[in-house]
Amino acid sequence: MKKKIFVLKNSIFKDYRGYYWTTWKKNNFKTIKFNHDKFSISKKNVLRGFHCDFKSWKLVTCVFGKIVLAVVNVDKRDKNYLYSKKFLLSFKKPVSILIPPNYANAYLCLSEYCVFHYKWSYKGKYPDTKNQKSFKWNDPKFKISWPVKKPILSKRDKKSKLLT
């Protein structure tokens, strides 16, 4: 599969009880074998990322609340180096974004709370934080305009460096 960002528009059923949708089916990505799921719950103005590794595909979905997701190509060998894209994700219009290896991602919670789902595909061991790269959330090379000046950051994200 080509290493590019892919948007999957999820089918949705909505009625007086709420929402129901599918985020992934085996036939959507025949060459990607998913093997790990994670959820993060954030409160308003929490910004997580930019994080990446160089072997993982991530299928991400905002399952509750509203977020801004930013994705940036950090592969210096790629002709699309520093290509970036921003998405507004909400559980009311569910979309999943497939992020390839070598793309860093970050997201900002816009609602009171949000729930973010990661579906991971990688070979070998899970690339935990010690095997990931982190970049400063407001790195000017990324050209991402965030709707908040002082987000809530983790210690890891506060220590992140600019892209070199």
pTM of the entire predicted model: 0.91
pLDDT at 126: 77
Q: Which CATH architecture has domain 6-159?
A: Sandwich (2.60)
Per residue in 22-79, pLDDT (tens digit) is 888 888 788 899 999 999 999 999 999 999 988 999 999 999 999 999 999 999 999 9
CA distances from 62 to 10, 91, 116, 139 (A): 12, 6, 5, 24
88 touches 7 (CB < 8 A): no
Q: What 3-state class would DSSP assign to 100?
A: coil
In the numeric block, the tokens 């974004």 are attached to 97
Per residue in 110-147, pLDDT (tens digit) is 999 999 999 999 988 877 777 788 999 999 999 999 99
- pLDDT of 1 higher than 90: no
For residues 79-89, average pLDDT: 96
50 touches 72 (CB < 8 A): yes
Burial class (CB in 10 A: 0-12, 13-18, 19+), 112: exposed
Round the average pLDDT of the chain to a whole number and report it.
92
132 touches 52 (CB < 8 A): yes
Domain assignments of the chain as residue spans, ordered by start = 6-159
**How many Å is the maximal CA-CA distance in the chain?**
51
CA distance 115 to 117: 7
% of the chain beyond a pLDDT of 70? 99
pLDDT at 131: 75
